[in-house]
Amino acid sequence: MPEKSQEELDRVAFALNESPFYQHLGMRIVRIWEGHSEMHLELTQTHKNIWNTFHGGAIASVMDSTCGTSLSSSLEEDEGAITIDLRVNYLSPPREGLLIGKGRFVYRTRNLAWSEAEAFDQEGNLIATAQAIHRIIKRDWGKNR
């Protein structure tokens, strides 16, 4: 596994937090460290569906991103990871307020990586769990196509 400084991981978090999708949803990476990540999403009325409950897609987005960012320390400089399988188990409905996602890198081969995550409400109640498989790709961010 490549050695990454905390400064490098902080730069990854900063770049992802600037992404239009993260900003649109309101989620942000709080911290990435060796094999782990933590994300926050302040659940508000904008995340509710027509049944006045929080949309599972908002929670799944946090779980997907939390799983994916936990891989950051295992990737080479020219690598990225895309989710090819995401399994989310919704355990209890969240309430309005802070949703905290905690991700963990599990294992990696040359072409695939596995990760998992848990989501908690601000009182520490477990809301959801997730398991993901990611395909490792050569990164070409910022290149014109």
What's this model's pTM, rounded to 2 decimal places?
A: 0.89
User: In whole angstroms, what is the distance from residue 9 CA to residue 57 CA?
Assistant: 26
**Which positions ≥6 away from 118 have C-beta within 8 Å?**
101, 102, 126, 128, 129, 130
pLDDT (tens digit per residue) in 57-79: 999 999 999 999 999 989 988 89
Hey, is 89 helix, strand or coil? strand
Q: For residue 143, what pLDDT band results from cuts at 50, 70 and 90?
A: low
Q: pLDDT tens digits, residue range 8-26? A: 889 889 989 999 999 999 9
Q: Under CATH, what is the fold of the domain 6-138?
A: Thiol Ester Dehydrase; Chain A (3.10.129)
